[in-house]
Amino acid sequence: VPTVDPELVKRWHAEGGELVDLLSQVRERAGGVAGVRLGPALTVLVTDPQAVQHVLALRPDRYVKRSHRARLLIGDGLLAATGEAWKRQRRLLQSQFTGTGMRRYEHRITEAARTTAERWEAYARTGQSLDVGKEMHRFALDTIWRSLTGHPLDDETAHELEAVEAVGAALPTLPADADKARDAVAADLARIDAVALRAIEAVRGGDAGPDGPGLLHILTDAATERPEYTDQLIRDELVTLLAAGHETTATTLTWLYLLLDQYPTAREEALAAGDAGSEERRRAVQALVHETLRLYPAAWLLPRHAAEDDTLVGHTVEAGTDLLVCPYLTHRDPRLWPDPDRFDPQRFLVPGCRPTHPGAYLPFGIGPRACLGLQFALRESTILLEHLLPAHTVAFSATPTKAQYGITVRPDGPTPATLEPALV
Ligand code: HEM
């Protein structure tokens, strides 16, 4: 694997730059499969679409996920599970997140969107300021909570579930020692466990909620036939779906509004496409979401570990090597995406405007470990935008000047705004 000069990393350390800037230089100098010594061992950065496809989709048996840190929060939940356990867990949940299974959650998503739209109406009437990022978090959490429990999200639960995000944000900086790491976030984990336990007990007690039985019922029902679905595993799946399913969507919707602030005609073009509720309008709104996910794929780095020796598009990768697949850099490669920094939803509407290689656009990952919630995330984003976009334009009073590249890529700062009645 072509590897960059260690001086590059030393300089980057000294300058205190962002990881994404270093990775971008690594790709520039060493190509789509590039070695870099971030610590004593070699890490391989993978951005070439063919190599991305090989690692994630063609040979996932050779490139495995290792989620030591995430396990602290999500235990053996689907995102961290491996081997046969992962297969069983994925099979159970997959049916709920595709085709007819998904349709069961459609009205809950619509209810959550309607609740947000009503809140935005009130903001618009009173001229009160709102924080777009916080609003999107509330919406995404409400959506997944309703889908899990059958209940709308109340303020107290919303407050307690802030602990999920707090632990998620702390993960990269926690001590390497597992006990010390657990101690550091013990209070937040206890809050999360209490909410999870309450929700599981409510379902066991026959509480289906006004929206009818939810995903949690599927999990507790599974427990009656399958001994592996212990209360601990049900808790782990619940927390996994909360953690994986709300920050990602919320951040995407926040980026989308920040991008519309820079490219207001994109909103007008989407609303000019077809009538409200038409398939044409839906496609145009979904293109806004896709183009946002191209520029800001929430999961911007997908780590893998080589379990055996392999040849990766002509390069030798030894067993034990850590790899970083980086959708963010692939999505901004000018050889794949002309004028890559420009927000242009037409790329996803006009045939021939985007590369069709499966490894060239992968905000939800590809292969067997691709996002479980892909359809769910696209539906909730589209439904919310169909409610909000025609009603208001958002006037930001300040916008974050840069992105924060943590586990997700998110705006680095608050996003205060007021709403103005839409003229178009
Ligand atoms: C996995 C992105 C929304 C649940 C993933 C992966 C990506 C991703 C890239 C694969 C990670 C890897 O290969 O290492 C996103 C984005 C979202 C989103 C960008 C929103 C815009 C959701 C939602 C849910 C969800 C709404 C649940 C309701 C999951 C789960 C996995 C996963 C459970 C693990 C799947 C497995 O390992 O089998 N997501 N996701 N995600 N996502 Fe999402």
pLDDT in tens, 299-309: 999 999 999 99
Cβ of 209 closer than 6 Å to ligand 1, yes or no, is no
Q: What is the largest CA-CA distance in the chain?
A: 63
What residues contact 243, with CB distance under 8 A and at least 6 apart? 73, 74, 79, 164, 168
- Summarised one tens digit per residue, pLDDT across range 146-158 is 999 999 999 999 9
94-103 average pLDDT score: 90
Mark 358-382 as b/e (b = at least 16 C-beta within 10 Å). Answer: bbbbbbbbbbebebbbebbbbbbbb
As a whole number of angstroms, the distance between CA 12 and CA 120 comes to 43
- Residues above pLDDT 90, as percent of the chain: 91
Percent of the chain at pLDDT above 70?
100
Q: Where are the alpha helices (DSSP H) in 54-177?
A: 68-74, 83-94, 99-126, 132-149, 155-160, 162-170
Give rounded-to-5 percent helix, strand, coil for the chain: 55, 10, 35
Q: Give the per-residue pLDDT at 252.
A: 98
Where does residue 164 rank: exposed (0-12), middle (13-18), buried (19+ CB within 10 A)?
buried
Tell me, in angstroms, the distance from the centre of ligand 1 to residue 244's CA. 6
Q: Which residues pair with 405 in a beta bridge?
A: 409
In sequence order, the β-bridge partners of residue 3 are 35
Residue 424's pLDDT is 65
Contact 188, 422 (CB under 8 A): no
Q: What is the pLDDT of residue 67?
A: 82
Phi, psi angles (nearest 5°) of residue 37:
-95, 95
Pairwise CA distance, residues 424 & 230, whole Å: 53
Please give the Cα distance from 374 to 14 (Å, whole number): 39
Which residue has its alpha carbon closest to ligand 1 atom 14? 302
pLDDT tens digit sequence for 36-87: 999 899 999 999 999 999 999 999 999 999 888 899 999 999 999 999 999 9
Tokens of 46: 């993978």
Q: What is the mean pLDDT of residues 103-124?
A: 95
Sign of CA dihedral 347, 352, 354, 359: positive
**Distances 310 to 18, 44, 60 between C-alpha atoms, Å:** 30, 13, 12
Check if 71 has its Cβ closer than 6 Å to any atom of ligand 1: no
**Residue environment code for 325-342, b if the CB has 16+ CB neighbours within 10 A, otherwise e:** bbbbbbbbbeebbeeeee
pLDDT digits (tens, 9 = 90+) for 5-35: 999 999 999 998 899 999 999 999 999 999 9
Look at ligand 1, atom 20, and give the residue with the nearest C-alpha: 249
The number of residues in the chain equals: 424
CA dist 424 and 420 (Å) reads 11
Q: Enter the tokens of residue 299.
A: 């999961």
In this model, does residue 313 exceed pLDDT 70? yes
Q: Which atom of ligand 1 is nearest to the CA of 304?
A: 14
Alpha-carbon distance 111 to 115, whole Å? 6
Q: For residue 387, is pLDDT > 80?
A: yes
Tokens of 28: 């520039």
Rounded to the nearest whole angstrom, what is the distance from the C-alpha of residue 251 to the centroid of ligand 1? 13
How far is ligand 1, taken at its centre, from the CA of residue 281, in Å?
26
- Report the atom number in ligand 1 closest to the C-alpha of 147: 28
**Local confidence band at 253 (pLDDT 50, 70, 90 cut-offs):** very high
Query: Domains in the chain and their CATH numbers?
Result: 47-421 (1.10.630.10)
Q: Beta strand 416-421 with 310-312: parallel, antiparallel or unpaired?
A: unpaired
Separation in Å, CA 138 to CA 112, 132, 177, 179: 9, 10, 33, 32
- 176: pLDDT confidence band, cut at 50, 70 and 90? confident
pLDDT on residue 404: 93
Query: 3 pLDDT exceeds 80?
Result: yes
Q: Does the pLDDT at position 394 exceed 80?
A: yes
Does residue 292's CB lie within 6 angstroms of at least one atom of ligand 1? no
Torsion angle, alpha carbons of 52, 53, 59, 62, to 10: 10
> How far is it, in rounded angstroms, from Cα 267 to Cα 200?
41
158 and 272 in contact (C-beta within 8 Å)? no
Query: What pLDDT does 9 receive?
Result: 96
Dihedral class, residue 31 (left if φ above 0, else alpha if ψ from -120 to 50, else beta): left
Contact 373 CB / ligand 1 (< 6 Å): yes
Measured in Å, residue 382 CA sits from the centre of ligand 1 at: 17
- Those residues whose C-beta lies under 8 Å from the C-beta of residue 100, and which sit 6 or more positions away, are none
